[in-house]
């Protein structure tokens, strides 16, 4: 007999969990506090880089291993998935940053100016050396989240948006209750902390890129992820804070300066969106699934929601089968 599952939160954690539980034959209901699924989540602001090998620069091996599962998972759910690799560059004066990055990562090749021009013609002549991670991928997070919502509806999952409930309110009504509320779960979990992230969306037809580019800098590292319709996602700050204000002037200037350093064409770009949100993280910056008083928690995605939510969702489906 099919079991019923209530999932709280329709960010990337809740939606991926919903997909895997539907596939496992559960009757899934997703509860979301906002009036619409996905759009009020921290996930809505993500860059959408699926870059497990680059993340090894600062993340433990678990992130690299689990993150590789995302590469095959996402390609089944969103046409916005693209596997074109990613680039890591730095201005000549910060070359030691590139060497340091290379020492801590794997699955890249060093490229020279000519190879860079072949990959990204618009960056021709601007950088003489770089790292190319050919197996990495990216997606458009907003499109990907909406694609998951559509998949879930098609699969028969129910959505209860605008809810005022919290997971413990529905404990007796479902076989399983899963809390994927991101930072909102701080109301019951004092082991969660917030890491503020700010991002901008720029629009310009003066430059085109085919893949995410990271620009290393000792103080303001930046990445740019290209999207459809001449849109570029520019991110992201990492600030130990639960501060939910909008993007600060300082962060905006630093992000834009770095974009300009990558290519002056960004100076004339239109800023079409600018937002900040708080990434949910545990002390070790590694997500986990655990259970407390009859509620299962998937949380602590930190800066790896799109990279790690598929693996966590598959683990959840495996656990609930037992
Ligand atoms: C600027 C920025 C860039 C990023 N870039 C990347 C990237 O390139 N790649 C990557 O993998 N990750 C990236 N991340 C990290 C990623 O966005 C997070 O890890 C991820 O969003 C966490 O997802 P989540 O589903 O756990 O939480 P959230 O996305 O925050 O979702 C939680 C949901 O729960 C809902 N909720 C809250 N309370 C309730 C309630 N009582 N009932 C029901 N619902 C409730 C919220 O409204 C929300 O929809 C980035 C983050 C930021 C801020």
Q: Quick check: CB of 184 below 6 Å from ligand 1?
A: yes
pLDDT at 319 over 60: yes
For residue 136, what pLDDT is reported? 98
> According to the model, what pLDDT value does residue 217 have?
83
**With bands split at pLDDT 50, 70 and 90, how would you rate the model's confidence at 147?**
very high
- Cα–Cα distances (Å) from 292 to 26, 32, 176, 178, 274, in that order, read 21, 21, 12, 11, 37
- The atom number, within ligand 1, closest to the CA of 236 reads 1
Percentage of the chain with pLDDT > 90?
A: 95
Q: Which of 212-221, 232-241, 302-311 has the lowest mean pLDDT?
A: 212-221
Q: What is the pLDDT of residue 321?
A: 80
Q: What is the DSSP string of 187-208?
A: GT-TT-EEEEEEEEEEE-SS--
**What integer pLDDT is reported at residue 297 of this predicted model?**
98
How far is Cα 29 from Cα 164, in angstroms, rounded to an integer? 15
Give the Cα separation of 319 and 322 in Å (integer): 6
Task: Please say if the pLDDT value at position 156 is more than 60.
Answer: yes
What mean pLDDT do residues 304-322 have? 94
- Nearest protein CA to atom 35 of ligand 1, as residue: 9
Q: Atom 17 (ligand 1): residue with closest C-alpha?
A: 43
My answer on whether omega of the bond before 148 falls inside 30° of 0, hence cis, is: no
- How many whole angstroms from 98 Cα to the centroid of ligand 1? 30
**pLDDT, tens digit, 9 for 90 and up, residues 189-231:** 999 999 999 999 999 999 999 999 999 987 778 999 999 999 9
Above 60 in pLDDT, residue 266? yes
Does 34 sit in the ligand 1 pocket, CB within 6 Å? Answer: yes
Interval between CA 155 and ligand 1 midpoint (Å)? 23
Rg of the Cα atoms in the chain: 20
Q: What is the pLDDT of residues 54-77, one digit of tens each?
A: 999 999 999 999 999 999 999 999
Please check the confidence at residue 322 and state whether its pLDDT lies above 80.
Answer: no
Give the span between the Cα atoms of 124 and 115, in whole angstroms. Answer: 9
């Amino acid at each position: 007999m099919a079991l019923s599952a209530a999932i709280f939160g329709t960010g990337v954690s809740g939606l991926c969990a919903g997909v895997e539980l539907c596939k496992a034959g559960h009757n899934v209901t997703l509860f979301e506090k906002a009036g619409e699924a996905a759009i009020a989540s921290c996930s809505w602001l993500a860059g959408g880089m699926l870059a497990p090998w680059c993340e090894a620069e600062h993340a433990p091996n678990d992130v690299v291993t689990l993150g590789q599962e995302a590469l095959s998972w996402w390609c089944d759910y969103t046409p916005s998935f693209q596997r074109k690799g990613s680039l890591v560059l730095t201005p000549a004066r910060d070359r030691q940053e590139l060497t340091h990055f290379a020492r801590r990562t794997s699955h890249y090749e060093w490229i020279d100016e000519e190879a860079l021009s072949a990959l990204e013609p618009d960056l021709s002549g601007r950088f003489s050396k770089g790292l190319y991670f050919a197996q990495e991928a990216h997606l458009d997070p907003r499109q990907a989240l909406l694609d998951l919502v559509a998949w879930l509806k098609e699969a028969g999952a129910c959505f209860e948006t605008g809810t005022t409930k919290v997971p413990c309110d529905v404990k007796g009504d479902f076989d399983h209750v899963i809390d994927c509320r991101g930072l909102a779960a701080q109301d019951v979990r004092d082991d969660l902390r917030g890491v503020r992230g700010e991002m901008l969306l720029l629009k310009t037809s003066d430059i085109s890129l085919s893949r995410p580019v990271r620009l290393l800098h000792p103080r303001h590292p930046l990445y740019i992820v290209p999207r459809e319709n001449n849109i570029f996602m520019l991110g992201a700050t990492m600030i130990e804070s639960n501060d939910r204000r909008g993007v600060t002037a300082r962060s905006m200037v630093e992000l834009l300066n770095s974009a300009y350093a990558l290519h002056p064409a960004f100076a004339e770009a239109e800023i079409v969106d600018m937002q900040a949100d708080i990434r949910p993280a545990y002390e070790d910056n590694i997500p986990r699934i655990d259970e407390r008083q009859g509620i299962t928690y998937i949380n602590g995605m930190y800066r790896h929601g799109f990279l790690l939510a598929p693996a966590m969702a598959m683990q959840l489906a495996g656990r609930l089968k037992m």
